[in-house]
Amino acid sequence: MAKLNRIKVVLVEKQKTGKWLAEQVGKSACTVSKWCSNSTQPEIAQLKRVAYLLEQLDSLIYVDWLDSSMPQTTCGKIAENIKEKIKKDDKFILVATEGAIASKWCIWELGFGDAHKYASEKIALFPIRNEGYDWSESEYLEIYPVIGYIDTYQYVSNFGCLDTGYNVSLWT
């Protein structure tokens, strides 16, 4: 399973461009564009640099497999660390790949995030799937807002006009 990032989402949230990021990390705008579209991934060192820059914009990015405090083998300490991060961070967004949905860990994290973020509307799914949002056998996911990309300006009933870019919406 490919590891995916949410660089583009954070750039949009912080009103920064891929060109800005390219200048900051010394890469071409084309390379950063590929990172933003998830067609290629930055090397670990580069991803850490990007995360650092985005954190300077007051946007904390947490990637558990980059957390040096995580134990090397699966154990209860991992669950404790993840629980603390979910409680501490303002929002919980699950990058919902097919592998993530099949993972008992990710479903546990979603349940814990639900208990702490759902009432305050600070939980969402960011689906990364070739077939769209068909979560057969995981229909419970339909209760969460979804982050998705809209490639044209459009009107959506109950939401109004949505600009081109990443938006959060509920299932319809």
Residue 24 is predicted with a pLDDT of 79
Ranges 5-19, 45-59, 94-108, 136-150: which has the least confidence: 45-59
Specify the fold of 7-56. Answer: 434 Repressor (Amino-terminal Domain) (1.10.260)
Instruction: Please choose, from the candidates 110, 118, 119, 166, the residue with its C-alpha nearest in 3D space to the C-alpha of residue 138.
Output: 110
Cα–Cα distances (Å) from 124 to 48, 101, 115, 158, in that order, read 24, 14, 13, 18
Residue 1 is predicted with a pLDDT of 38
Q: Using one digit for the tens of pLDDT, what is the confidence trace for 122-136?
A: 888 877 655 555 667
More confident residue, 11 or 150: 11
Judged against a pLDDT cut of 70, whether residue 167 lies above it is answered with no
More confident residue, 58 or 140: 140
Domain spans of the chain, in order of start: 7-56, 72-169
Mutual orientation of helices 18-25 and 44-56 as an angle, nearest 10°?
A: 120
Tracing tokens 């967004």 back to the chain, one arrives at 93
Instruction: Please choose, from the candidates 121, 122, 114, 146, the residue with its C-alpha nearest in 3D space to the C-alpha of residue 132.
Output: 146
d(CA 32, CA 38): 10
d(CA 165, CA 83): 31
Residue 126 is predicted with a pLDDT of 76
d(CA 120, CA 115): 10
